């Protein structure tokens, strides 16, 4: 068992206007992500399964060409390798859960070169 204080984790810049603090377990990563209004996560894909859960705010999430507006309390489950992007309609706070561990984000937190999001 490990206690983690999110405020003590390194804040990562994933893209302009998008930051995250990431908790890594042995088989998953949980990213606490903040978007400023209008921030865009460009189209990308990764080999991780992802659950994207909006805690506060509203954003558009485009998954494999289908755009949906997600707000507080809504979540989207993304399969591995599916292209997706996002744009903040308002300031947003979300929790992204990834399986397996996002080693690229772990490397970023340690100051090592990584691919980012």
CATH number at residue 55: 2.60.120.10
Q: What is the pLDDT of residues 13-40, one digit of tens each?
A: 999 999 999 999 999 999 999 999 999 9
Asked if residue 116 is part of any domain, the answer here is: no
Q: What is the pLDDT of residue 54?
A: 98
Q: What is the pLDDT of residues 67-86, one digit of tens each?
A: 999 999 999 999 999 999 99
Asked if residue 12 is part of any domain, the answer here is: no
Q: Is the pTM of this model over 0.85?
A: yes
User: At which residue do the structure tokens 């804040």 appear?
Assistant: 11
Section 97-101 average pLDDT = 98
Q: How many domains does the chain have?
A: 1
Asked if residue 67 is part of any domain, the answer here is: yes
Asked if residue 1 is part of any domain, the answer here is: no
Asked if residue 49 is part of any domain, the answer here is: yes
Asked if residue 74 is part of any domain, the answer here is: yes
Asked if residue 36 is part of any domain, the answer here is: yes
Tell me the residue range of the domain where 82 lies.
Answer: 24-109
pLDDT at 113 over 70: no
- What pLDDT band is residue 114 in, cutting at 50, 70 and 90? low
Asked if residue 35 is part of any domain, the answer here is: yes
């Amino acid at each position: 068992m490990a206690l983690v204080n999110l405020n003590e984790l390194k804040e990562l810049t994933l893209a302009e206007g998008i930051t995250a603090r990431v908790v890594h377990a042995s088989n998953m990563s949980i990213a606490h992500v903040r978007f400023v209004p209008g921030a865009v996560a460009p189209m990308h894909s990764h080999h991780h399964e992802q659950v994207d859960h909006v805690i506060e705010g509203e954003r558009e999430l485009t998954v494999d060409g289908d755009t949906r507006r997600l707000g507080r309390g809504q979540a989207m489950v993304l399969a591995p390798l599916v292209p997706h992007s996002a744009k903040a309609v308002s300031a947003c706070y979300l929790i992204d859960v990834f399986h397996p561990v996002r080693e690229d984000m772990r490397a970023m937190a340690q100051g090592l070169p990584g691919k980012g999001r």
